[in-house]
Structure 1
Amino acid sequence: MSAREQVIVEYGHEEGEFYLSQVQRTEPFERNNHYHGTYEIYYLLAGRRYYFIKDASYSVAAGDLIFINKYDVHKTSVLGSPQHARIVMNFSDDFLGKDHPLFRPELLRMFVREPHQFRLKPQEQWHVERLLGRMAEEARRREEGFELSLRLLLTELLLLAARLKAEPADAAEDPLSPVHRKIGQVVKHLNAHFSQKLPLPELSAAFGLSPAYLSRTFKKITGFTIVGYQHLMRVREAQSLLAATDAKIADIAVAVGFEQFAHFNRTFKKLTGASPTRYRKLNRRP
């Protein structure tokens, strides 16, 4: 920990069953683009941030609550002053207890809806910060029964969020530039056609941009090169098919857009840390 970053609370790992982190920063910080197999809740306590999620950029202000679904690509970056404070929470299906008879699907509804951002009213901010504060304290103290308390508080937070109505950001306060919106359109196109060949000259012409400008701006906003983003989308789809189907791995490679099986294997292992065969073995769904 440095003077530029103060970690208030940190518990668990974001790829584990439950993770909570509360941090204050005074210097520029950008989280690398990433995705994971856990749900994420992000609450900005102070400052402003850009948040790129799936295929859209959001201007996030203090008091905004963000919900990110499993495997959605996301990245934070500086907006104005780098000073900010936030709480991030990740949790798995197992931690929430999706198989429990009291579980209700509406508790996860906000993770699949768009936009991903809730602009909370002052009273709603108070309720959310009260719950998050209690969760941070439980994670910090770790007294007997704290994990059960975290589950109960998380359920209460999700129930509160399920009752909220999304308030769109005021257009006069929204600093998203036309460039951010244009890149969002490009990302949506890539998401819809990730298995197809999309040469840069054709892609840039379709959106009225030069190849060099599109490449540079896409990387700046999303954190990915265009080819890197295509590979990520293909591997993400391959992960789903490996876990949920009996299809041959070579057939999956072709289906998601890889022409060479060796290239698929290398790219898959680079992005996931495991070969396709090992990934299927570890993540096979019944």
Structure 2
Amino acid sequence: MSDIAGAYEKTGYLNKHYKFFHLKDSDSRKFDYHYHDFDKIIYLLNGRADYMIEGKKYLLEPHDFIFVNRNEIHKPIVDFSIPYERMILYIDHSFIEGYAKDDYDLSECFGRTFKEKTNVVRFPAVVTRELYETLRRMEENDKTSGYAGELYGELLFLEFMVQMNRACLENEFAYHHTAKYNKKIIDIIQYINENLSEELSIDDLSENFYMSKYHMMRQFKEETGYSIHQYTLEKRIVTARSMLLNGVPAMVAAMECGFKDYSTFARAFKKKLGSMPSKIKG
């Protein structure tokens, strides 16, 4: 088992189809809000933790699975009186999307989090055990240098994704709907994400959601860790980046994500991501 949590945010990138971690933290530390341009599944082995995802607070129990979709802003809040242990999979969304056929889709387990309006699933023990065993085999394969180890690891990853999607489809009551959240703020988050091409001014949001500007801004910050301006800018940039990776021209991505001109977009993009939009190739 590798204990690399100290470098977790610095290593939050993915340059292959999937990446597996088994982390265990005993020393107290604070996790910041962050997001990734890949999907993530977390299996909580041990610990006391809540998980904040896009304004919702999930009270976790050991053996919960947490689904974090790409670009979702999130962080754990951990009670370090006992060790915080989890297995994590970083997943290239385009890779599992490539396995979408008429009768199955390996990204369905992520898609259902939107349908069910929750990011946490809690399976029966026998189902959880089967999923854990496959993760354990992935970990053992990573530790060894056996014949065709990389290929075997990918096969185990695909086996896990098949098992996970079957589990999600066959256990309709596994979706955990007890998250704590402010419904108004969740509605604002949804509205922002669905209207990135619009101006999204504080005045307009305040009027649309019948909240005073200052109360809305304070509540949003408390629930998400971001100001409304920060959140909107982050979402515009990461959405534009996803569009660029899919071959959308930079000017089109800028306009569809709410930037009034290319120069403003390019400055914001470079400041946040460290490179110009023209360097992103689909």
Taking structure 2 as the reference length, the TM-score comes to 0.79
1:28·1:78 contact (CA, 8 Å) conserved in 2? no
Q: Could you tell me which residue of structure 2 aligns to residue 45 of structure 1?
A: 45
User: Is 2:160 the counterpart of 1:160?
Assistant: no
What are the residue-to-residue correspondences of 1:1-286 with 2, within 5 Å?
6-7=3-4, 14-17=13-16, 18-26=18-26, 27-36=28-37, 38-53=38-53, 56-69=56-69, 71-78=70-77, 83=82, 84-92=84-92, 98=98, 105-114=104-113, 115-164=118-167, 165-166=171-172, 167-169=174-176, 174=178, 176-179=179-182, 181-245=183-247, 247=249, 249-279=250-280, 282-283=281-282
Q: Distance in 2 between matches of 1:73 and 1:183?
A: 15
- How far off its partner does 1:104 sit? 7.5
- How far off its partner does 1:32 sit? 2.9
Counterpart amino acid of residue 235 in structure 1 = I
Q: Distance in 2 between matches of 1:110 and 1:188?
A: 20
Q: Compare 134-143 and 223-232 and name the one that shifted more.
A: 134-143
Counterpart amino acid of residue 168 in structure 1 = Y
Change (3 A) 1:182 1:63: farther
Q: Distance in 2 between matches of 1:141 and 1:97?
A: 29
Q: Distance in 2 between matches of 1:252 and 1:72?
A: 16
DSSP 3-state at the match of 1:270: helix
Structure 2: state its 5+ residue gaps. none
- How far off its partner does 1:195 sit? 1.9
DSSP 3-state at the match of 1:106: coil
Identity of aligned residues (%): 22
- How far off its partner does 1:151 sit? 1.2
Query: Could you give the per-residue CA deviations for residues 36-85 of structure 1, whole angstroms, max 9, x where no partner exists?
Result: 1x33211111124333445644333211112333x332312216566421
Taking structure 1 as the reference length, the TM-score comes to 0.78
Q: Distance in 1 between matches of 2:210 and 2:181?
A: 13
1:238·1:252 contact (CA, 8 Å) conserved in 2? yes
Query: Could you give the per-residue CA deviations for residues 90-142 of structure 1, whole angstroms, max 9, x where no partner exists?
Result: 13368669479x99742221121123321111112211221112212222334
Q: What is the aligned-residue RMSD (CA, Å)?
A: 3.4
DSSP 3-state at the match of 2:58: strand
1:48·1:61 contact (CA, 8 Å) conserved in 2? yes
Q: Distance in 1 between matches of 2:195 and 2:205?
A: 11
- How far off its partner does 1:213 sit? 3.9
